[in-house]
Amino acid sequence: MLNIIPENLIEGWTIVVVDDEDDSLMVAEVILQAYGATVYTGVNGKEGFEVIQRVKPRLVISDLSMPVLDGWGLISLLKGNRAYHDLPVIALTAHAMIGDRERAIANGFHNYLTKPLTVDSFMGNLLNLLLDIPELVEFLNL
Amino acid sequence: MKTVVRFGMVLAMLVVAACSAAATPTPAPIPVKIQLSWIHEYSSSPFYAALRNGHFAANGVEATLTEGGFDDQGYIDPVAQLVSGNADFAMSDGASLIQARAAGSPVVAIASVMQRNPLAILSLSETGSVSPQDLAGKSVSVASGGAEVMLNTLLQSQGVDRSTVNVIARTNFGIEALVNGEVDNLVAWITNEGVALQEQGLTTNTILMSDYGVEAYDFILFTSEAMINDKPDVVRGVVHALQMGIADVIADPVQAVEYTLSLDPALVREEQFRRLEITIPLMNVPGKTHGGMEATVWQFTYDMLVNQGILTQAVDLDQVYTLDFIAAENQ
Amino acid sequence: MQVTNRTAIPFFARLRWRLTFLFLGIAIVPVVIITLIVITQIGSQYQIQIFNELDAISTLKTQQVEHLLQDGREQLRAIAINDDVIAGVQTPDSVPVALTVIQRLAEISSNVETIFIYTPDGKVVLASDEVLINRVVLRQPYFDASLSGEFLQAPFFDVSLQRLTLIATNPIYQDSDLIAIAAIRYNINEIDNILGEQVGLGESGETYLISQENNYLLTKSRFDGFPQNRAYTSDGIERALSAQNGDAFYPDYRGIPVFGNYHWIEDLKSGLLTEIDQAEAFSAITQTQVIIIVLAALIAISAAVIGLVVSTQITQPISQMTITASAIAQGKFDQRVAYAQADEVGVLATAFNDMAQAVQDRTSQLQAARDEALGAQRVARENSRLKSEFLSTMSHELRTPMNAILGFTSIMQKRIGGVEYNALTERYLQRIHANSERLLGLINDFLDLSRVESGRMELATMPIVPADMALKWSESLTVLAESKGLALIVNIDPALPAIILGDEEAISKIAINLIGNAIKFTEKGSVTVQLRKQEQFMTLAVTDTGIGIAPHAREYIFDEFRQVDQSSKRKYGGTGLGLAIAQKIAREMGGTINLQSQIDVGSTFTLVVPMAGTANNVAVKESLVLA
């Protein structure tokens, strides 16, 4: 994990964050914006999908348990849609059971971050994950 | 293995043959021809029994029985047959043999089948005679020859005047004359005519010659002097076989009749049986050897012939018969 | 051997048949023995009796015949000395008188048929039957013998009479000169009558005379088809004719087996045979024997029936019980055996029924207990599920606000998001953050403990690189150690495989707990972390140079909520959950945590885990400790 993460790490990125908790949304939004990304939000899977369709993000970060349409529903929507099939989606959730990660990955999430997060832990882990995604690595400002 | 077995069999056969050769050599049975005095009937059944029961064979003799009776030349004379050599043995009666001897035929009597004479005077009960004395004033039919001799002897010995008796020559062998009442009395054999009368349901009186001491052997087996001299064993064998045959007939008359029938199936079994039944007591007299002979009888016969003038020249009675071949039996 | 199938019992092993045969044996054997004895006894007695009867008949008839003969002899003797007769023989004039005498004599005696007198040369001179007079008896069988003395001629067939004749003679002397012979012809019908008497001879018995001379029957056979004038033979006949007397079993002249009494009658030179068919003689006794046998058979049958009945009575309830037991075994618990009689079998049946009832009760109890247990299990499972759900929910619910707290505090601490900061804000934020961390730690501990307690800790078996893992630990805790002036040394034994299997998160949690504790409780010196290979285990030894742990404290140090003492709680903080959780997790992995310590020297906590992961569930030896 890098001790210092560049402030413009994700300069110019469009990222959609989907979470039914306002506070969680705000934390994620603030942190990502601080590192240069443009963040759009949705409060559930349905709204999230609409936003994704509107803004065409480079990355999606989504909670799992949400009303109307939860994370699982959203990922299946995205994976079933040829336009968004390859769109990287990272799960961000307070659930912390063994097997959740595997289940998430099996369903199409690229990876899995657990709450609660701090700035450092969030960005650090996120960076590690992004490093694993070839098509995004080129866009990282390291 | 097979060759061993075969070899063994051959060896065994050789051993058996050797053994039987080493044992007393059984000579082939001597063939003899026996001339019977009458046609095949019950009276010759001892011969049939001797033949069928193997007594001839057991005595080393192969017997051929020739029927007697009549041929186209007339009565078959047993003496002539023997003398001519047509027969080795033959059957006849005592009187005939004595006369034959007197005529020079070298015949010898060797056995007698019947011990008592079957001749009798038969008459019907109602009209007949029960004793010789009754004959006076009656008619009697008798055949010429031996029968007549015996009748005359009877009348004489019983003191009946012959002239008071109407003696008629018997011409046929039937009983019709008596049955019809043509004659009062018939001199005949009790074994034959006597039975025939019974068969007709007639009750008869019988004056048996033998009951009045008029005795003669009437069924004698004889042979030639030559045979006796040359083949005494054959003679003995034949006599013994006959004796055994007589014993067989006495023991089993039914079988004897069957043997008789086998020689002439035309015979009637019941008739033969009844006749044989009457014959058996004549053959089987207690105290007398089967087939045996007694000097007294021969003597009487001889005397009878002499007295009646039949025999005109002397004959050595000892030459006429011999008792040498008759086997003793335990009576 | 288990024989649960009744038809699998071999036939003759079956109790029922064994009892029946036993009964039969006990009943039959003596019955058979007695029957045999009785029958043979009766048989032999009867045979003796029959022979005795035949002998009596034979003796009686012989006597009668002898009497008849004797009568004739006496007649003859009388005649032989009768003056009139003598005169009649010698003088023709005396003949009529003599004849009258003889005729009268013949008439008087029923045994005598004819009397006749003949001369020594065989001529009959006097006779009660006229026709005999003048006959010549020279050729008659009796003639020769009659001359010398009293003579009886064995019966013979008279040719002219055409029948059997029995003649006795007696010489007549005058001054010791033989002048004539008197003879009588017996009435042979009398003999026929004597012998023909069938009293005592049943349907098949007969007495007859047989002639030695030619084996002819001198008296008539009782049976058709056996005429007299034929030779007959049998064992009895031959013995009689060879002058033997006695009795025996033999086939008679008809070939039929008879009881036979044979007797030689010298006078008549004949055998007298008294015979009766064995079949007839035996029939009476056979009847008795048959009755005895039938009775014996009835006894046998009765014995068999009784045996069968009794044995059935005994075995039937047993069979019943077998069937019922099978039924019960198959689940029909309400089956019972019905048996009315109050005997041992009845007691057994009652006991059986009691047992069946107990089985039924127990089964229903068990059933109830099982249902209860199932219910409890269901409840437990439900509770467990609820607990799981609760944990999950709690975990989620607790983490969500923590996310906001930590997130915002970290944002503010990072001075991002455009907030105004000053030193106080910094200080207060730091406190909020530190406490949030502490709260988060507590939440995690609590969740871990809950999970471990309820066995919900799912341990992964993934490849671990011990070197990398140890590096992470030192990265996390070096700062803390340096802040206290302690050295943190990490050693990895080269013998330890480069890759092992296990749950990295769980091992790390324990390791961080142990190392953290070591740092916490050490003021000076160092904390050494050593990773080694011990058989199939990896050992992680955390050694400190701290205050050490007193022996009494080592026992309960792993207990939940305990610390060495309450004072250390205040000094060192913590809920005391750490070691308890660590131990539980270690146990869950199939390993353990061991402790060695010396006061004021230091302590070594050693975690022992299997290198092959928890899948193998290998038990750990508690003594596996590295100093």
Residue at A50 is within a domain: yes
Query: What pLDDT shows up at residue C334?
Result: 82
Whether chain C has a CB inside 8 Å of the CB on A94: the answer is yes
**Segment A32-60, tens digit of pLDDT:** 998 999 999 999 999 999 999 999 999 99
- DSSP states along C260-300: EEEEEETTTTEEEEEEEEHHHHHHHHHHHHHHHHHHHHHHH
> Biggest alpha carbon distance in chain A?
39
Count of structural domains within chain A? 1
Considering chain B, what percentage of its residues have pLDDT values greater than 90? 62
Q: Which residues does residue B94 pair with via DSSP β-bridges, in sequence order?
A: none
The region of weakest confidence among B14-23, B183-192, B257-266, C123-132 is: B14-23
Cis peptide before A134 (omega within 30 of 0): no
Residues of A in contact with C409 (CB under 8 A): 118
Residue at A70 is within a domain: yes
Report the CATH number at residue A108. Answer: 3.40.50.2300
The region of weakest confidence among A92-101, B215-224, B265-274, C208-217 is: A92-101
Per the CB < 8 A criterion, the answer to whether B197 and B128 are in contact is: no
Looking at domain C14-311, its CATH superfamily turns out to be PAS domain (3.30.450.20)
User: Which residue in the set C137, C144, C229 is minimally distant from B277, CB to CB?
Assistant: C229
Query: What pLDDT shows up at residue C1?
Result: 47
Whether chain C has a CB inside 8 Å of the CB on A119: the answer is yes
Query: What pLDDT shows up at residue B241?
Result: 95
pLDDT above 60: residue C4: no
Amino acid identity for residue B81 in this structure: Q
User: Which residue in the set A33, A95, A119 is minimally distant from C414, CB to CB?
Assistant: A119
Residue at A3 is within a domain: no
Delimit the CATH 3.40.190.10 region(s) of chain B: 30-115+217-320, 119-212
Query: What pLDDT shows up at residue C617?
Result: 41
C75 contacts: CB under 8 Å, gap ≥ 6 = C105, C109, C112, C115, C184
Whether chain C has a CB inside 8 Å of the CB on A31: the answer is yes
Q: Which residues does residue C206 pair with via DSSP β-bridges, in sequence order?
A: C275
Delimit the CATH 3.30.565.10 region(s) of chain C: 460-616
Residue at A7 is within a domain: no
**Segment B139-167, tens digit of pLDDT:** 999 988 888 999 999 999 998 998 999 99
Instruction: Indicate the fold that domain B30-115+217-320 takes in CATH.
Output: D-Maltodextrin-Binding Protein; domain 2 (3.40.190)
Per the CB < 8 A criterion, the answer to whether C225 and C247 are in contact is: no
Tell me the C-alpha distance between C210 and C271, whole Å.
Answer: 5
Residue A108 structural domain: 14-137
Determine whether the interchain pair C131/B130 forms a contact, defined as Cβ–Cβ distance below 8 Å: yes
Q: Token pair 């409060």 is at which residue?
A: A43
Residue at A48 is within a domain: yes
Other C-beta atoms closer than 10 Å to the C-beta of B297 total 21
Per the CB < 8 A criterion, the answer to whether C172 and C182 are in contact is: yes
Residues of A in contact with C458 (CB under 8 A): 97-99
Tell me the C-alpha distance between C247 and C58, whole Å.
Answer: 11
Q: Region C424-453: what's the mean pLDDT? A: 79
The region of weakest confidence among B3-7, C376-380, C488-492 is: B3-7
| B interface test, pick of C133, C160, C269 with most B CB neighbours within 10 Å | C160
Which candidate, C268, C271, C273, C272, places its Cα nearest to that of C156?
C268
Phi then psi dihedrals of residue A112, to 5 deg:
-150, 120
* Dihedral, CA of residue C471, residue C474, residue C477 and residue C481, to nearest 10: -170
* DSSP-derived secondary structure letter, B190: I
Model confidence at A75, pLDDT cuts 50, 70, 90, reads very high
pLDDT above 80: residue C557: no
Model confidence at C20, pLDDT cuts 50, 70, 90, reads confident
User: Which residue in the set C159, C215, C229 is minimally distant from B116, CB to CB?
Assistant: C159
The region of weakest confidence among B102-111, C153-162, C233-242, C606-615 is: C606-615
Determine whether the interchain pair C156/B116 forms a contact, defined as Cβ–Cβ distance below 8 Å: no
Residue at A96 is within a domain: yes
Residues present in chain A in total: 142
pLDDT, averaged across chain A: 88
Determine whether the interchain pair A116/C413 forms a contact, defined as Cβ–Cβ distance below 8 Å: no
pLDDT above 80: residue C484: yes
Tell me the C-alpha distance between B190 and B279, whole Å.
Answer: 8
B102 contacts: CB under 8 Å, gap ≥ 6 = B311, B312, B313, B315
Q: What Rg, from alpha-carbon coordinates, does chain B have? A: 23
Query: What pLDDT shows up at residue C12?
Result: 64
Model confidence at A72, pLDDT cuts 50, 70, 90, reads very high
Other C-beta atoms closer than 10 Å to the C-beta of C268 total 23
Q: Which CATH number fits domain C460-616: 3.30.420.40, 2.160.10.10, 3.30.565.10, 3.30.413.10?
A: 3.30.565.10
How close C231 comes to chain B (CA, Å)?
4
More confident residue, B146 or A142: B146
Residues of C in contact with A93 (CB under 8 A): 396
Query: What pLDDT shows up at residue C234?
Result: 94
Enter the CATH code of domain B119-212. Answer: 3.40.190.10
Which candidate, C289, C281, C286, places its Cα nearest to that of C54?
C281
Query: What pLDDT shows up at residue C531?
Result: 92
Q: Tokens representing C288?
A: 């008795």
Cβ pairs bridging A and C (under 8 Å): 82
Which candidate, B260, B264, B294, places its Cα nearest to that of B277?
B260
Whether chain B has a CB inside 8 Å of the CB on C231: the answer is yes
Whether chain A has a CB inside 8 Å of the CB on C455: the answer is no
**Segment B40-69, tens digit of pLDDT:** 999 999 999 999 999 999 999 999 999 998
Whether chain C has a CB inside 8 Å of the CB on A14: the answer is no
Across B20-40, b (16+ Cβ under 10 Å) vs e yields eeeeeeeeebbebbbbbbbeb
Report H helices in chain B: 2-22, 45-52, 55-58, 78-84, 94-102, 146-157, 176-180, 195-199, 225-230, 232-251, 253-263, 269-283, 295-307, 317-320
**Segment C582-620, tens digit of pLDDT:** 888 888 888 888 888 888 888 899 999 988 865 444 444
Across B276-296, b (16+ Cβ under 10 Å) vs e yields bbbbbbbbbbbbbbbbbbbee
Calculate the alpha carbon distances from C607 to B181, B205, C253, C536 in Å: 166, 159, 125, 13
Query: What pLDDT shows up at residue A126?
Result: 86
* DSSP-derived secondary structure letter, C136: B
Handedness of CA C604, C609, C610, C612 (dihedral sign): negative
Calculate the alpha carbon distances from C584 to B113, B285, C320, C454 in Å: 145, 144, 60, 11
Tell me the C-alpha distance between A62 and A78, whole Å.
Answer: 12
pLDDT, averaged across chain B: 89
More confident residue, C23 or A111: A111
* DSSP-derived secondary structure letter, B29: P
Amino acid identity for residue B95 in this structure: A
Calculate the alpha carbon distances from C581 to C250, C450, C451, C459 in Å: 119, 10, 10, 14
**Segment C381-408, tens digit of pLDDT:** 777 777 777 777 777 788 888 888 888 8
| B interface test, pick of C139, C153, C237, C268 with most B CB neighbours within 10 Å | C139
Q: Across C147-252, where does the E strand assignment appear?
A: 151-158, 163-174, 177-186, 206-211, 246-251
Query: What pLDDT shows up at residue C351?
Result: 87
Tell me the C-alpha distance between C106 and C246, whole Å.
Answer: 37
Which candidate, C501, C447, C446, C508, places its Cα nearest to that of C475?
C508
Query: What pLDDT shows up at residue B17?
Result: 60
Q: What is the pTM of this model?
A: 0.57
Query: What pLDDT shows up at residue C562?
Result: 53
Query: What pLDDT shows up at residue C8?
Result: 65
**Segment B29-47, tens digit of pLDDT:** 899 999 998 899 999 999 9
Delimit the CATH 3.30.450.20 region(s) of chain C: 14-311
Determine whether the interchain pair B285/C160 forms a contact, defined as Cβ–Cβ distance below 8 Å: no
C241 contacts: CB under 8 Å, gap ≥ 6 = C210, C212, C215, C264, C270, C271
3-state class of C182 per DSSP?
strand
Whether chain C has a CB inside 8 Å of the CB on A24: the answer is yes
Tell me the C-alpha distance between C111 and C189, whole Å.
Answer: 9
Residue at A5 is within a domain: no
Query: What pLDDT shows up at residue A1?
Result: 41
Which candidate, A97, A12, B11, B83, places its Cα nearest to that of C393?
A97
Q: What Rg, from alpha-carbon coordinates, does chain A have? A: 14
